[in-house]
Structure 1
Amino acid sequence: MRASYLVAVSATAILLSACTTVRGPAQSPQEAAAPAPAQPGAAAEQDASAALHALFKASDEDNLRRNPLNALFRGDMRYADQLGDSITDAYFDAERAAGDKDLAALGRIDRAALSETDQLAYDVFKWQTELALRSLSPEILPLNVVRPIDHFTGFHTFYPDLASGQGAAPFKTVKDYDDNIKRHHRYAWLIDQAIVRFRQGMESGVVQPKLVVRNVIDQLDLQLKQGVEGSTFYAPLKTFPADIPAADQARLRTQTAAVIRDEIRPAYQRLRDFLAREYLPAARAGDGLIHMKGGAKLYSYLIEQNTTLPLTAEDVHQLGLSEVARIHREMETVKAQVGFKGTLQEFFEYLRTNAKFRPASKEALRDEYYAIGKRVDARVGEIFSTLPKTKLEIRPVPDYREKNDAGGSYMQGAPDGSRPGVFYYNTYDLPSRSTWGQETLYLHEGAPGHHFQISLAQENEALPNFMRFGGNTAYVEGWALYAETLWDELGMETDPYQRFGGLNDEMLRAMRLVVDSGIHAKGWTRDQAIKYMLNNSSMGRTDATSEVERYIAMPGQALAYKIGQLKILELRAKAEQALGAKFDLKAFHAQVLMTGSLPMNILEQKIDRWIASQRN
């Protein structure tokens, strides 16, 4: 989720050369005017590559038409007046038909005739498409579609950001504002369609846990309390670009206020009342998928979807327990280093409650993140050969979602750099925030974590779009967690308390393996999971509660971090051992990052080939 695309032989050069005509030496002016006959193998590769990239382009264009927000986040404004569907049977039928069509076309391309890099793209495209089709299967889709909203992934959580003037949607021209109004109409419709899906779930017996429903109700209440002109949706109307005429400004204020007042707020109220009066009594009491009809089958799928590996819930649980034990041993070392005489649990409580580890103010928290960013910027070029062109900004989490948000998060920038990437830090319940965790959080969410991985992929125009803009959680979050381990190379965590912060964050990801599988496969309760996290780390109760409620809302997603990180660390250790003095950390990072987000098995195959090439 967190770099470089340049290595001895760059992926850019390989991808471009695959579409380049092969020419022989000219023998005469006439021969010089036309290409010489290509070698049979080269011609076959050229034809196969051309077909492959034509498929990628056609598939991507079709996807953008079906999913216009994907285009908007890229800065592609062709469908900016559309919000899309994403919830009806017709939408899912179209997605399924597109996946079947793409796989059929891929099957007609001779993989053996492709270059090594094109084979990599072929494999990723096939893996992603097959996984998407599984999510649309009769076994999986009915278990997800009737639960369209939760407090972490519902469109009521991201759409206000999109429309706030601080998100992906631009507000530079009159058309931008008009497009926003058109999206608002569709948004109100989507809210009502969510009620339809929830009702279907009540009939089928597939429902959200009560905890999730209560959290969504709280979020809707917060947005309803904003009113019209205090609404996040109204924010872009408070400051217009200077070149928008006054008459247009007046019209846009009137029309935007009307759609907020007459459509969005009533839709919110309908959803809120439905959830509170009808759905909450029918929601399940048990938090985990083990308590939901079809939940065991769904969790098995979600483990593979998120980790990209064929692991069982028991595999995950045992791996988590092993990692928790290892990290505890390293924490004991830090405890001894600072001279603390009590038990590890007492050390946790000391770090959790001592006032010297609390931010003095929201401004002090912000200023320290600014300082950390400057220190990273000064060193990061030592281990990455290419840095993102996209700027990184540091902002607090918006107040309307800070209560249920993580301690830190990242929003990607525009591929052309016109919109920066944003590292969000959370100031909610400030006394629960710990200064010793700041460096690690920045490395993960900012640089060289999510910002590097996402920006460098987006900026590499030589990659097919599904590799520039797509991804899987194990790679994205695995990279960001791996980025935390680069603290030594980047001169971070020189204070033992900051080193403990790094271990504490690593412990969080290890505990996720235990707790997520505990909740969804072993029947752990919310309180049991919170207690486990408090007993095994120095997390504050606010953060532990938010984390556990996130795992309840998003089963399996939290497994990806640790499993992805362990795979990248394993591949680095393998390369270091195999190459010895030839090992180049910049080149290794380029190999991991240069071709976008890869499933773990495909990444391993790629690194194995690179090791072999470096040996030779």
Structure 2
Amino acid sequence: MIISRSRLAALLSLPLLSIAVAAPLAAAPPQQAAKPVALPGDGPEDAKLKQLFHESDERDLKLHPINALFRGDLRYADRLGDFFSDRQIAAERAASEADLRGLNTIDRTKLTPVDAIAYDVFRYSTERSIRGSQPDIVALTYVRPLDHFNGIQGFYPDIASGQGAAPFKTLLDYENNLKRNAQYAAQLDAAIARFREGMKTGVVQPKLTVRNMIEQFDNLIAQGVEGSTFYGPVKTFPAGISSADETRLRAAYAAQIRDVMIPAHQRMRDFLSGTYLAAARDSVGLSAMPGGAKLYDYLIEGSTTLPLKAEEVHQLGLSEVARILKEMEAQKVKVGFKGSLAEFFTFLRTDKQFQPSSAEQLRLGYEAIGRRIDTRIREQFSLIPRSKLEIRPVPAYKEKTDAGGSYQDGTVDGSRPGVFFYNTYDLPSRYMWEMETLFLHEAVPGHHFQVSLAAENEKLPAFMRFGGNTAYIEGWALYAETLWPELGLETDPYQRMGGLSDEMLRAMRLVVDTGIHAKGWSRDQSIKYMLDNSPMGKTDATAEVERYIAIPGQALAYKIGQLTILRCKAKAKAARGAKFDPRAFHAAVLDAGALPMPVLEKKIDDWIAASK
């Protein structure tokens, strides 16, 4: 969900949107990027800034055409983009340097308050992008081009499936998808070349990550031709496609899958298993990789937007774990459980009353939770997104390694809704006591509210409407979980345990992520820590730990962001007293898109001062 010129950040942020297209066939013209619009109070410096944002966004969409596709801008719909080449790295760095030069010509003191915030966010993200494209960071990131969590093989099949971000309304849409598919196959070959570079310098993925990727490619290959995710678009057609074109397209898609896609997957699979696996690391942490400690420092700051070090993050995590354990003890007493907390965790994991009997039961449960929240949401929020929300299971081809729940955003024009995905893999491990908190985080008022409200705010520049940072995006979603009392949820102590379990997960991430990448913790040691301190199941704990191994530092953002927002709220409550209005506070946090933590704190401090 985060738009970035950094290839690594781009892969971490690409949304996996999904909707069945049922719109009538129409020849829609390509959507042009909106020109800068002056707002009341704008002066000459504001106009210069908005023009800079517009020009930067146009460059960015050309460099990352897949981002345009997600936004419904079809000008570059026949292109997937270049993820791995030296030429792309140089172009991204040059674009960021041009943006920074332009920014330095603008007098921030003469900007409106809204544009001053935009200026600060743009400077932060641009300087960060330049840092990410420097040779020392490139040498540690681009040569590890895929992992099992964020690799192109994980997000692109969904885009091309006929159920994802790519539209299939016109004949041109189908032809553009064939072109993107061919480019995807070429990108896999380019990734192999990058992997080989890393083998020469010892900068390689862990064997665990490689084995997970091999399994992903095995799954894609095993689908065959007509069972392939890539065959999805030609299983049904919108009205207006002639029978002759339907026949031709089915043949073209089948031939491409057979002759291009499956061979590309097979080449990558064979390379990973026959060549790369032997060179991969036995260790799972970055500290055991050449340059790993420096890279981890870079990733911590990138994820949290704060200059934190691994040790202070680790200690913060330990203190949060201890606090939450005390609250869990209280819930254990409330339900009358007589054993230890560890035995209570085992009870929550194993008792049949907490295990769904079917995927349908999960769906109906989440729909009911959504209806309950709807009755109370306006007590806490004056800003309500226009975008609709759908509830769907995680696609089967990636459910084993996917999270228990996730959110993928829709389009501003409403043609594609936001989607809350729930995972039905290993159904007995999808505990019903975690459903309410998961919905708060992934759907309402978590990701669906934050992402949709930013995108719908036409007063913001595109990079703030459609971009962001993990600390804010995930910090907001974790903060949304704390609103359970106000929204009438978690009244059952078992559901409250689910809320504490989810908060514990984010606290344990501080401990485990830093443990793995700065302290040499093993995979099994990390899984055991999570099982010892929470009721989460082993399936989820394993997937979580393997995620931290694949994308170091990202999991730190959740708790850091949440604590920052809670700190801002506490200051606002202290300043406003009885006049504190949660709707006004939430609007102040949400009305400018995803901000770096220092910028958010400054914004809320200014809002508090103005409200006095």
* Bin for the TM-score computed over the shorter chain: over 0.9
- Structure 2 CA distance for aligned equivalents of residues 167 and 490 of structure 1: 31
- SS of 2:398's partner is coil
1:606 paired residue among 603, 608, 612: 603
Mapping for residues 250-329 of structure 1, pairs under 5 Å: 250-329=247-326
- Structure 2 CA distance for aligned equivalents of residues 522 and 177 of structure 1: 50
Query: What is the identity, as a one-letter code, of the residue corresponding to 1:19?
Result: A
TM-score, length basis structure 1: 0.93
Give the aligned partner of residue 373 of structure 1: 370
- Structure 2 CA distance for aligned equivalents of residues 17 and 274 of structure 1: 48
Give the aligned partner of residue 7 of structure 1: none
- Partner deviation per Cα, 1:277-299 (whole Å, 9 max, x = no partner): 10000000000001111000000
Query: What is the identity, as a one-letter code, of the residue corresponding to 2:360?
Result: E
Mapping for residues 187-202 of structure 1, pairs under 5 Å: 187-202=184-199
2:133 paired residue among 136, 155, 178: 136
- Structure 2 CA distance for aligned equivalents of residues 166 and 327 of structure 1: 40
2:416 paired residue among 414, 419, 424: 419
- Structure 2 CA distance for aligned equivalents of residues 508 and 148 of structure 1: 28
Shift of 1:260: 1.1
Shift of 1:386: 2.0
Query: What is the identity, as a one-letter code, of the residue corresponding to 2:319?
Result: S
Q: Higher relative contact order by CA 8 Å / sep ≥ 6: 1 or 2? A: 1
Give the aligned partner of residue 182 of structure 1: 179
1:403 paired residue among 393, 400, 405: 400
- SS of 1:487's partner is coil
- Structure 2 CA distance for aligned equivalents of residues 243 and 490 of structure 1: 46
| 1:586 matched to 2:604 | no
Shift of 1:18: 8.9
Shift of 1:435: 0.4
| 1:566 matched to 2:585 | no
- SS of 1:581's partner is helix
| 1:19 matched to 2:16 | no
| 1:119 matched to 2:116 | yes
- Structure 2 CA distance for aligned equivalents of residues 294 and 209 of structure 1: 15
Alignment RMSD, CA only? 1.3
Give the aligned partner of residue 332 of structure 2: 335
Give the aligned partner of residue 518 of structure 1: 515
1:529 paired residue among 501, 512, 526: 526
Query: What is the identity, as a one-letter code, of the residue corresponding to 2:226?
Result: E
- Partner deviation per Cα, 1:183-225 (whole Å, 9 max, x = no partner): 0110010010000000000011100000000000000000100
| 1:493 matched to 2:493 | no
- SS of 1:62's partner is helix
- SS of 1:227's partner is coil
| 1:540 matched to 2:559 | no
Query: Is the contact between residue 405 and residue 426 of structure 1 (CA under 8 Å) also seen in structure 2?
Result: yes
Which has the greater radius of gyration? 1
| 1:208 matched to 2:205 | yes
Give the aligned partner of residue 472 of structure 1: 469
Query: What is the identity, as a one-letter code, of the residue corresponding to 2:80?
Result: L
- SS of 1:293's partner is coil
257-266 or 282-291, which moves further after superposition? 257-266
- Structure 2 CA distance for aligned equivalents of residues 302 and 48 of structure 1: 34
Unaligned runs of 5+ in 1: 3-15, 22-41
Query: Is the contact between residue 36 and residue 51 of structure 2 (CA under 8 Å) also seen in structure 1?
Result: no
Query: What is the identity, as a one-letter code, of the residue corresponding to 1:228?
Result: V
Give the aligned partner of residue 463 of structure 1: 460
- Structure 2 CA distance for aligned equivalents of residues 599 and 86 of structure 1: 25
Shift of 1:242: 2.0
Query: Is the contact between residue 185 and residue 260 of structure 2 (CA under 8 Å) also seen in structure 1?
Result: yes
Shift of 1:255: 1.1
470-479 or 362-371, which moves further after superposition? 362-371
- Partner deviation per Cα, 1:322-368 (whole Å, 9 max, x = no partner): 00000001101101100011111111011011111100111111110
- SS of 2:603's partner is helix
- Partner deviation per Cα, 1:527-566 (whole Å, 9 max, x = no partner): 0000000000001000000000000000000000000000
- Structure 2 CA distance for aligned equivalents of residues 279 and 17 of structure 1: 48
Query: Is the contact between residue 390 and residue 417 of structure 2 (CA under 8 Å) also seen in structure 1?
Result: yes
Give the aligned partner of residue 241 of structure 1: 238
- Structure 2 CA distance for aligned equivalents of residues 576 and 308 of structure 1: 25
- Structure 2 CA distance for aligned equivalents of residues 17 and 488 of structure 1: 42
- Partner deviation per Cα, 1:431-486 (whole Å, 9 max, x = no partner): 11100000000110111100000011011111100000010000000000000001
- Partner deviation per Cα, 1:29-50 (whole Å, 9 max, x = no partner): xxxxxxxxxxxxx8xx611011
Query: Is the contact between residue 18 and residue 115 of structure 1 (CA under 8 Å) also seen in structure 2?
Result: no
- Structure 2 CA distance for aligned equivalents of residues 330 and 458 of structure 1: 37
Query: What is the identity, as a one-letter code, of the residue corresponding to 2:316?
Result: L
Query: Is the contact between residue 457 and residue 468 of structure 1 (CA under 8 Å) also seen in structure 2?
Result: yes
Give the aligned partner of residue 15 of structure 2: none
Query: Is the contact between residue 168 and residue 414 of structure 1 (CA under 8 Å) also seen in structure 2?
Result: no
| 1:504 matched to 2:501 | yes
Query: Is the contact between residue 75 and residue 414 of structure 1 (CA under 8 Å) also seen in structure 2?
Result: yes
- Structure 2 CA distance for aligned equivalents of residues 189 and 366 of structure 1: 38
- Partner deviation per Cα, 1:355-386 (whole Å, 9 max, x = no partner): 11100111111110111111112211211112
Give the aligned partner of residue 24 of structure 1: none
Give the aligned partner of residue 439 of structure 1: 436
- Structure 1 CA distance for aligned equivalents of residues 39 and 112 of structure 2: 13
Query: What is the identity, as a one-letter code, of the residue corresponding to 1:414?
Result: T
- SS of 1:335's partner is helix
Query: Is the contact between residue 299 and residue 555 of structure 1 (CA under 8 Å) also seen in structure 2?
Result: yes
Query: Is the contact between residue 137 and residue 295 of structure 2 (CA under 8 Å) also seen in structure 1?
Result: yes
Shift of 1:244: 1.2
